[in-house]
Chain A
Amino acid sequence: MPSAPKRRRRTPRQLLRGVRRRTRRAAGRVRRIFWRSLQLRVVTSTMVISIVVVAVLGVFLMQQIVSATLENRERAAKSEAQADRNAVLGYLSQPAAEAAKQPADAGQVLPGAGDTPLGQATAALARRAGSASRYSVIIRNETRPGEFYGTTDIDPRSIPARQREELFKKEPGEESTWYTPLHYVGQKTVPGIVIGTRLDTSGTALDSSYEIYHLVPLEREELILASVQRMLVLVGAGLVLLLAAIASLVTRQVVTPVRLARQAAERLAAGRLDERLKVRGEDDLARLAASFNEMAANLALKIHQLEELSQVQRQFVSDVSHELRTPLTTVRMAADLLFDAREDFDPMAARSAELMQNQLNRFEEMLADLLEISRYDAGAADLDVDSVDVRDVVLRAVADSEALAERHSTRFDLRLPGEPCMAEMDSRRVERILRNLLFNAIEHGEGRDVVVSVAADRDAVAVAVRDHGVGLKAGEENMVFDRFWRADPSRARTIGGTGLGLAISREDAILHGGWLQAWGAHGEGSQFRLSLPRVAGAVLRGSPLPLVPPEVEMRRTWRGQMTPVLSPAAADGGRDAD
């Protein structure tokens, strides 16, 4: 993609899509990490479980502490309220004349002599409650004017209206306790308890509508409970983190040897058969390491044995080929004699001589190929690298194949670039590859044109040979390079290939650090592509030519878009190895 239109303005939807894409990508990454790391998974599950446990425990503990604290306070407040109620009743029920002489509980002389009994009672309760705002008292009698007193700075708004209603439904003397916010005049609101009752005035001349409320602030309890809660949260968080750390430590002890074992197995798989694990201790992991080492040793032994066997076989083939050459030379000479003198024979014998000559040619070629391939197997093949123009190599190979092409009435369609395509290669081998490919194309081309394309880019050159024959079946793209493989075993070998040509070609391509790949589709023909790096020894990253011929690719995408039902061939082939 060229960089010119990169700075175009994006619509919000595009932005959103971008964000979503990025999020999905990040989520995918996290998921991948999560599922790849055993340790992370164990730590996560430990944390989740411990959070649940700590939360449940914390809530339970907090509830216990809160109820215990409040119960204690409420009980104390209620007993104080009862004592106060008796004191108030004492003040109210005595004759007014004596009221002035009533000594206060603290033994002080009452200020405000001549005060109403209720005023005196409230003052006494205020003193009893003390300066440290232990509680406030409100006394009222709604039916009598002026009978409404409160201590210090309590605001009568603090009494919930519903509590008053409840109080008047209950019998005098029965308590009603509410937890409610307490308001103080000109000060902040604090949570508190309101213990209310109607004064039980049975046996006195008083009416029963005296209400007494004790308002107990729970500011300190609130502070204590808040600090306990903070403590619990802190301790819980610490506990969860500690558990996570422990889980992490423990899994690390287990996971580290497993990870080492995995890495060793990977290296073993990569072919380093001398890879071994350190065995420490005698626990399960140590036993795993021991088993692994044993397995690796056995594998190495087996592979060594197999290699030896293979070596013996290759040597055998090579030896057989060499050994066969000597008698073959003799046979050849005799056959040549017979062939030259065939006109003197009767037709039957002459035909036999011709047949023998042909088959001997084939035999010689086969032997040569066998020797060549055994050289590869033995690793004895080497390159004679030279900088050449690929077009020249192609033209030479085409020229070599002209005779065969004519016989098959096949024409070559050469698509060569105008400028030279220089590359470092062993031209003899490359020519052989191309020859093989061309022969192959002619043989399977069923007389149709064979297209030879050459292309080059900065790093690589490529040659593609395209025929329009029966093509390859699915899965045959790789099998064509197998030794002695045949597309159709019943099909006669018209040009007498040895069955080793493509195998040798592939070995040649690999020797160059290049690729030899095949594409084919039934009824579409096939294409073989040779890609080579321009500089010998460089790693090939891509090919200048597509493996699937462009016209096939185009047709396929077009068909796939228009009528997917009508494209049974689209399912197979078209794999691009790039």
Chain B
Amino acid sequence: MPTRGGPRRHARRAGEVLPALALSLALLAGTTSCSVIPTGGRSVMSVDDESKGSPLGDPYARVVAMPPKAGWSPEEVVTGFRAAMASLDDSDFRIARQYLAADFAAKWNPRSGVTVYRQGAYDKFAPIGAEDRQAQVTLKGTKIAVIDPDGRYRPSGGPLNQPFTLARQADGEWRISTAPDGLLLSEADVARGYPPVDLYFLDARREALVVDQVRVPIDPGANFAKTTVERLLRGPSSSLADAVRTAFTGIGLIDVTTENNRVVVDLDGRVAADLVDPMSAQLAATLSALTKGGWGFEVKVNGESYHPDAPLRVDAQKQSSFDPWLAPGAVDPYYLAGDGLRLLGKENTGQPVPGRAGQKRLGLDPPAISGQSARQVAQRSADRRSLSVAPLAAGGEWRVWATGESLAPPSWDRYGTLWAVDRPNDHTSVLTRYDGDGKRHYRVTAPDLETAYVKSLKVARDGVHVAVIVRDGLGEQVRVGTVVGERERTRITNLQTVVDSENGRKIKDITWNDGKTLYALTDRSELLEASVAAEPASLGTGSRIESIAALDGRLLAGSSDEQGGRQIFYWTSSKWEALVKHENGTADFVENGPSFPAFPLG
């Protein structure tokens, strides 16, 4: 028995020891393993692209309103009041009103618009004694703009000289007893709290997007995309009120969020079936400044997908496919050279256009190219008494469409109608709109222009904005208006000066860059970028420029040298470069060379 029991006991012991050994080894490995973080493996985790930024608005600094402190001097009270006015989270201006004397606080109306000033400083009348009951603090500076209640930012000049009257209250504290209605904000306050927003609406035919430049106050309680869409849903500002349509009627916004790399716009109702596309384009265009083109959209209704069976996904660049003229991309320019019109092709060399216009020009006068797919060119005759149109197709002949006493250069709009301005005398202008076939024409009502000398008129590519050069006593000014109505009911309203006349300055040429900015060339060889929402900004100078043409950021200029040679230049955001290459490969000024560049429309 013992001889048989011996090996068996050994075997059992080995069987017990082996699992115990394995367990202790595993424990040892678990507790003292060299690293918890795995090394030598590939990670498949992906995060949102930070460089795309947040589509719902960038971070910003904001002023927090604080109530007046005891013992502040009149200047400090006024400073505190200005800060409280600039504060965005106090929507009822409750804290701002604490700076006002009780009876004035009830009367003060903060909602009658915003006055924007620059370089505010105080001008004090006299030192204040301990017994004084009244004090006056005057804020001095430069007035630069006004924001009206519907958000239009209108540049305006002039000095600011705003007095504030303060009264000592029963408790010995100074409170403001008179101040202007509306808000008085510094440029920085407005830059911080009222960012510019481009709202996009539809033209009358609901096929073009029309920009409405407004300022939207930031609401700290909502993301800026939501604030923007809310403003979009409220409709256009007064300058576009009659001229544009919107796909959103009677629809409210619930929220704007992000989900799966898409910006989700949650509405509380649906639009008519034929308006889904325009609505998507409006949203995409309006939010594109925030999304920087990198985010797609999805429209939901009450948190559910728009269509019962499928979500409504909107491409990030929906606006471009909806309205090809919003960002047309590479469109080749036309220009005059030799005896006819040429199209700049590859290698920057020109080819004569087909048809008669490529062989014979009517004069050395700016041509206007239509926007239809079958392009047409319109040009004024050398005696300025007629406008002729020629199709840019084989066999296209010049045909006279309009005649007059002294016609301005023509302009096409996106609907294929030609705009002509006749000036029988220096105080009368007659605006006429010619239908696509040149047979019917309608008189355009424009009360502000009919009694002035309109030097030039350019219809923007959105079909709604129109820019005119008007001659007045001081010189020439550029004004921008909107086209309302069609055919015989066409009128031009809401004319607004974007480039002031000063000291006999003349405007040689204007051209639309896009729906909101236009370039103006002065006779002092100054190139201005103008917009209804900003002061004209000088882009630089270019000597001997005769005419300009622009399209979506590309700016061309026709120029001549002392010997009468001509060449077209393009602007590289710092300097001018010669554009058109001749057969010999050079790009010099040549006699009877390239001149009067023109893009379709604009």
Contacts and interface: CB of A to CB of B under 8 A. Distances in A.
B504 to A, nearest CB: 32
Q: Which of A116, A140, A150, A153 has the most chain B CB atoms closer than 10 A to its own CB?
A: A153
B220 A129 contact: no
A156 B53 contact: no
A119 B192 contact: yes
A126 interface: yes
A187 B83 contact: no
A463 to B, nearest CB: 71
Given A153-B220, A186-B222, A129 B80 contact: no
Interface residues of A, number: 35
B72 interface: yes
Contacts of B186: 114-115
Interface string B187-212: 11001100000000000000000000
Contacts of A142: 66, 69
Contact of A149 (B62, B72, B187, B222): B62
A148 B64 CA distance: 5
Contact of A145 (B61, B80, B192): B80
B572 interface: no
Contacts of A185: 89, 220-221
A156 B62 CA distance: 11
A131 interface: yes
A123 interface: yes
B77 interface: yes
A23 to B, nearest CB: 47
A150 B87 CA distance: 10
A44 to B, nearest CB: 27
Given A112-B191, A114-B188, A143-B69, A122 B61 contact: yes
A145 B59 contact: no
B487 interface: no
Chain B interface size band reads 35 or more
A150 B50 contact: no
Interface of A: 111-116, 119, 122-123, 125-127, 129-132, 138, 140, 142-153, 155-156, 185-187
A126 B59 contact: yes
Contacts of B119: 114
B490 interface: no
B82 interface: yes
Nearest to B88: A185
20 contacts: A111-B191, A113-B188, A123-B60, A123-B192, A127-B59, A138-B64, A140-B64, A142-B69, A144-B76, A145-B66, A145-B68, A145-B69, A145-B76, A148-B63, A148-B83, A151-B61, A152-B59, A152-B60, A186-B222, A187-B221
Nearest to B77: A145
Contacts of A125: 61
Contact of B188 (A115, A145, A152): A115
Contact of A151 (B54, B60, B66): B60
Q: Which 5 A-B pairs have the closest CB atoms?
A: A186-B221, A146-B83, A145-B80, A115-B188, A122-B61
A145 B73 CA distance: 10
A119 B188 CA distance: 9
A273 to B, nearest CB: 33
Contacts of B406: none
Interface string B177-189: 0000000001110
B61 A126 contact: yes
B58 A119 contact: no
A151 B59 contact: yes
Contacts of A151: 59-62
Contacts of B68: 145
Nearest to B82: A146
B79 interface: yes
Contacts of B65: 148
B63 A146 contact: yes
Contacts of A149: 61-64
Contacts of A132: 50, 54
Contacts of B58: 127, 131
A147 B63 CA distance: 8
Contacts of B57: 131
A200 B496 CA distance: 52
A126 B54 CA distance: 13
A112 B66 contact: no
B118 interface: yes
Contacts of A153: 220-221
Given A111-B191, A130-B59, A145 B53 contact: no
Given A126-B60, A153-B220, A186-B220, A148 B191 contact: no
Given A138-B64, A148-B64, A156-B64, A129 B59 contact: yes
